[in-house]
Structure 1
Amino acid sequence: MTTTPPRIELSPQECRLFAHLKRCKQWQTARQIADATGVAPRTVQGHTKRLSACGLLERMETHPAPMFRFTAESAQADPAYVARIANACEAFGVEF
């Protein structure tokens, strides 16, 4: 069950971020995600905050910045949303 409703519309930036973390499987800061995906750091922060609140990303509080990762368990938090992201990635030409 999600604590924060997922977004109705999905952006190419959210798709790139989510697909990157799904492939990477390592803890990363918002800055590292931004560097790897070309998504603006502030945009990454907003998406990671929301996706971790929904349970779709794991969040670890570290200094100086929190870190995020996607796991198979994360996918079970909201399988329908993961399927929507996969479809949106296909539509935007983002490798999922």
Structure 2
Amino acid sequence: MKKITTDELLERIEAGEQLNIIDVREADEVAAGIIPGAKHIPLGEVDSRVGEFEKDKPYYLVCRSGARSGRASDFLNEQGVDATNVEGGMLNWNGETTA
């Protein structure tokens, strides 16, 4: 499984990179704050929404601690999607969030 730390992800965002970030937490967790520009696809919907992922683009998956996004990353990689798990998830996120 490919991994990236929250600090590495934040550096790339601050450098102006346009990243495809997918938040796989539940709606009530996302309501408390999401990385600006991230798309919300709850873990339970990833399999039924796999068609929304473009196979020629990399995706960065985040959850609360990194466990759920790790499962989602594994699944997406098996489907031919370039998915990277954000280690430590939102618990380690030091950047801005939006409601």
Q: Same fold (TM over 0.5)?
A: no
The interval holding the TM-score normalised by the smaller chain is under 0.3
Structure with the larger strand share: 2
Structure with the larger helix share: 1
